[in-house]
Chain A
Amino acid sequence: NAGVMQNPRHLVRRRGQEARLRCSPMKGHSHVYWYRQLPEEGLKFMVYLQKENIIDESGMPKERFSAEFPKEGPSILRIQQVVRGDSAAYFCASSPIGSQSYQPQHFGDGTRLSIL
């Protein structure tokens, strides 16, 4: 399967714990995007990364949320001290070249985060 891989598919955390969501882009893709989706709503952009660089984090809350895409390994979205409002589906997408190149983003199947 050469698609975007996300894990875990489901993650349960208690309030105050940390959540780590991983994303491996499609082979040959070096651009990664994270989106968040609440039930019955569309996806909302959080952050756009290239290898070792955050390009745009305008959609990501300043507190408790961080993202990285290291030279080796998957992209990580990290949520510290989770609260109930963080419960959502988090999707990762990748593209082969930049977001302004009229190339579609290809999505993984998401991580469903539930906060107890």
Chain B
Amino acid sequence: EVQLVESGGVVVQPGGSLRLSCAASGFTFDDYTMHWVRQVPGRGLEWVSLISWEGTGTSYADSVKGRFTISRDNRDNSLYLQMNSLRHDDTAFYYCAKGHVDAGMVLDQWGQGTLVTVSS
């Protein structure tokens, strides 16, 4: 059974930094593109970032480019999101998601999310 478990969400001050983690199990982690998606409570979904299976290809939403960095450790089956220069509008649930085997840009498994609150 595929499991994705996010952690690291806390309350952080504007301008602060945070690193989110996602522990993956139940599939061959280094075969798949992985993503981060966020959702303001009660609002819609916003794609944040992706990383290729080997970790050399990354892409970011314009809203986080230059502030967030996605990475992965295929030895530990872990995905990360380093978040710097945090702003109030970064407050959201952050989900890690696995790319589909036939289409890496389709998100076929999701974690339960971790809440990041940016507040003074």
| Physical interaction between A and B | no
Give the B-binding residues of A (Cβ under 8 A): none
